[in-house]
Amino acid sequence: METIAVIDFETTGMSPRMGARATEIAVALVRDGRIVDRYQSLMHTGSWVPPFIEQLTGITNRMLDDAPPAAQVMREAAEFVGDAPLVAHNAAFDRGFWLAELERVRAQSPASPSFACTLLLSRRLNDEAPNHKLGTLAQMFDLPRSGRAHRAMADAEVTAHLLMRMQRDVERRFADELGDAGATHDLLAALQRAPRKNLAACVAKHRERRDGEALRQREALRFLP
């Protein structure tokens, strides 16, 4: 059964390219339709948190003074995630901080991970949504919420529940095309790039590719000693 790591960052600004740093990270591991494990930590980078960010997130400069070093936190988070594929809401934002903070730890560019984005998926799957903000979708689907918005674990858990909802929706909506393949991370990553009118074809192509790989593996096993 596939394990997917859902991540969320809180930060001092919009982009590491503009000098922003992470202040908090949370990871929720999703497997077999439920959250099976969690990791969360504030992180100290020495960067200043602007007042409007303090008000938005509730994370203050004083809180970060006592937080563990960012390098330690990112090592722990990377170990916790392991080889699991990643999901985030507005994944371009979280992917940027994931790569930037890991690069500081490893002194080299980390391997680019596979990300799926629940915001992009919602734009393709949820035409009825007034917008695709995490809070709007949480309210629309009555998703469980465990804390205040704009704290990393609360947002990661809501995103995890949104991911599981989307997986179920894809499996119901495209049952004929999907068969027993399941809404895997690879399929979601393909769907988020597909035009709305081609979603069913994208699912069918994914199943065809998966079945072809399974056949090749069975054929290879036949020739093993």
Residue 140 belongs to a domain: yes
Residue 47 belongs to a domain: yes
Please enumerate in sequence order all residues whose Cβ is within 8 A of that of 192, keeping only pairs 6 or more positions apart, or say none: 116, 117, 120, 121, 124
CA neighbor of 203 nearest in space, from 193, 216, 190 = 190
Residue 199 belongs to a domain: no
- Maximal C-alpha separation, the chain: 66
pLDDT bucket at 213, cuts 50 / 70 / 90: low
pLDDT for position 177: 87
Average pLDDT, the chain: 92
- Residue the block writes with tokens 């960010």: 53
pLDDT for position 217: 61
Residue 169 belongs to a domain: yes
pLDDT for position 194: 96
Residue 192 belongs to a domain: no
pLDDT for position 152: 97
pLDDT for position 80: 97
Cα-to-chain-centroid distance, residue 114: 9
pLDDT in tens, 134-186: 999 999 999 998 888 899 999 999 999 999 999 999 999 999 888 877 899 99
Higher pLDDT, 80 or 212: 80
Measured in degrees and rounded to the nearest 5, phi and psi for residue 39 equal -140, 135
How far apart CA 99 and CA 15 sit, in angstroms, is: 12
Q: Would you call 80 exposed, middle or buried from its count of C-beta atoms within 10 A (0-12, 13-18, 19+)?
A: middle
Please enumerate in sequence order all residues whose Cβ is within 8 A of that of 85, keeping only pairs 6 or more positions apart, or say none: 2, 4, 5, 113, 114, 115, 116, 185, 186, 189
Residue 20 has pLDDT above 70, yes or no: yes
Residue 131 belongs to a domain: yes
Residue 98 belongs to a domain: yes
pLDDT for position 9: 98
- For 198, half-sphere exposure in the C-beta direction (CA atoms, 13 angstrom radius) is 9
pTM for this model (two decimals)? 0.92
Q: Distances from the Cα of 145 to the Cαs of 112, 140, 159, 203, in angstroms?
A: 30, 13, 10, 30
CATH of the domain at 95: 3.30.420.10
pLDDT in tens, 32-89: 999 999 999 999 999 999 999 999 999 999 999 999 999 999 999 999 999 999 999 9
Percent of the chain with pLDDT over 70: 92
pLDDT for position 222: 60
Domain count, the chain: 1
pLDDT for position 179: 80
Residue 81 belongs to a domain: yes
The domain in which residue 39 lies consists of 3-174
Cβ atoms of 185 and 87 within 8 Å: the answer is: yes
